[in-house]
Amino acid sequence: MSALSRIGLVGLGSMGMGMAQSLIRAGFDTYGFDLNPDACARLAEAGAAGTGPSALPYADRLDALMLVVVNGAQVEAVLFGEQGLAQALRPGSLVIVCSTLAATQTQSIHRRLAELGLEMIDAPISGGAVKAADGKLSVMASGKPELFEQARGLFDAVAEKLYVVGPDIGQGSTVKTIHQLLAGVHIAAAAEAMAMAAKAEIPLELMFEVVTHSAGNSWMFENRVPHILDGDYAPRSSVDIFVKDLGIVLDTAHQMKFPLPLASAAHQMFLAASNEGYGREDDAAVVKTFKGIRLPEGK
């Protein structure tokens, strides 16, 4: 099975842009697609072989298509919608789904692709925009072993850590689902802690300094609390993304008849933040749901 050389990537947001740029640096013929013309222009300046709002004009020349879109509905639309790519890709082409989906949806997509003679790797990602730009993401993947051999260079370009969970599509999505349980709970807990510090009139910068040098620290605390300190809620990852992701976590647990009390509470916090109008703000905006406190304002 030959290695891949021509890669299309759909979704040039904070993660997809960095991944596409990493592929260009690694020498791949990289094609990037997004409805945002500014994102396409930026990737073209970085050396993309082609860009545009749709991958359809380029579909027959791609060896692999990576999907880095927001949710499962967008994955379905890109592949199977009115202008869907699945029918246009060459049989044997590889589809790599990097979005966070429920394992059941990932498996359904795999079955439909297989009927068209297309291969698939289930490869959700984590690490944020900075690691995406540096080619140092973590990938939780599943699929046929020979596909990982074929795509080795691709994953080397975008990821610092590739965890191959197993051969069955859906296993990667399940690991990402459990990861998102932790991520969502950690953000909610960080917001709760900083809100309590604000109520107690503890300087928030001091609280951040103490926690990040003590046992209560987490990656999410260290990464998201600076947004609160700066009063900067421009979305790196939004409140509504965690409404979605923790919803997937809880739906998966319901199917397993497995209780998740902390994830349930965190989901309610993100739902409350979305209900109050913060859905499109950075996920650290969940701290705004706490009343009777003063938070830093943006500079």
Rounded mean pLDDT, 47-68: 97
* pLDDT band (50, 70, 90) for residue 299: low
Distances in Å between the Cα of 167 and the Cα atoms of 59, 171, 222, 266 are: 26, 8, 35, 32
The answer to whether the Cα torsion of 7, 13, 15, 17 is positive or negative is positive
Beta carbons of 94 and 64 less than 8 angstroms apart:
yes
Copy the structure tokens of residue 164. 């191959």
Q: Determine the Cα–Cα distance for residues 278 and 280; give it in Å rounded to an integer.
A: 6
pLDDT at residue 166 in the model: 98
Per DSSP, what are the bridge partners of residue 128?
Answer: none
Q: Could you read off the pLDDT of 188-225 as tens digits, one per residue?
A: 999 999 999 999 999 999 999 999 999 999 999 999 99
pLDDT at residue 1 in the model: 41
- Which amino acid is residue 174, in one-letter code? T
* pLDDT band (50, 70, 90) for residue 2: low
Q: Could you read off the pLDDT of 239-251 as tens digits, one per residue?
A: 999 999 999 999 9
Mean pLDDT of the chain: 96
Beta carbons of 116 and 90 less than 8 angstroms apart:
no
The answer to whether the Cα torsion of 219, 238, 195, 248 is positive or negative is negative
Percent of the chain with pLDDT over 90: 96
Q: Parallel, antiparallel, or unpaired: how do β-strands 159-166 and 29-33 relate?
A: unpaired
Active-site residues, by number, are 176
* pLDDT band (50, 70, 90) for residue 3: confident
12 SS3 class: coil
**Domain map of the chain by residue range?**
6-169, 175-289
DSSP line for 74-117: HHHHHHHSTT-STTTSPTT-EEEE-S---HHHHHHHHHHHHHTT
Q: Determine the Cα–Cα distance for residues 160 and 171; give it in Å rounded to an integer.
A: 20
Is the pLDDT assigned to residue 289 strictly greater than 90? Answer: yes
One fold for both 6-169 and 175-289? Answer: no
Beta carbons of 151 and 1 less than 8 angstroms apart:
no
Question: In CATH, what number does 175-289 get?
Answer: 1.10.1040.10
Q: Could you read off the pLDDT of 134-177 as tens digits, one per residue?
A: 999 999 999 999 999 999 999 999 999 999 999 999 999 999 99
- Which amino acid is residue 291, in one-letter code? K
Which residues does 58 contact at the CB level (< 8 Å), separation at least 6? 8, 31, 50, 52
Q: Determine the Cα–Cα distance for residues 74 and 180; give it in Å rounded to an integer.
A: 19
Copy the structure tokens of residue 44. 């073209």
Q: Could you read off the pLDDT of 28-47 as tens digits, one per residue?
A: 999 999 999 999 999 999 99
Flag whether the pTM goes above 0.75.
Answer: yes
CA nearest 181: which of 251, 107, 89?
251
pLDDT at residue 75 in the model: 97
DSSP line for 134-183: HT-EEEEEES-HHHHHHTHHHHHHHEEEEEEEESSTTHHHHHHHHHHHHH
pLDDT at residue 298 in the model: 82
Beta carbons of 54 and 32 less than 8 angstroms apart:
no
Beta carbons of 134 and 159 less than 8 angstroms apart:
no
- Domain 6-169 falls under CATH 3.40.1190.10: no
Rounded mean pLDDT, 80-104: 96
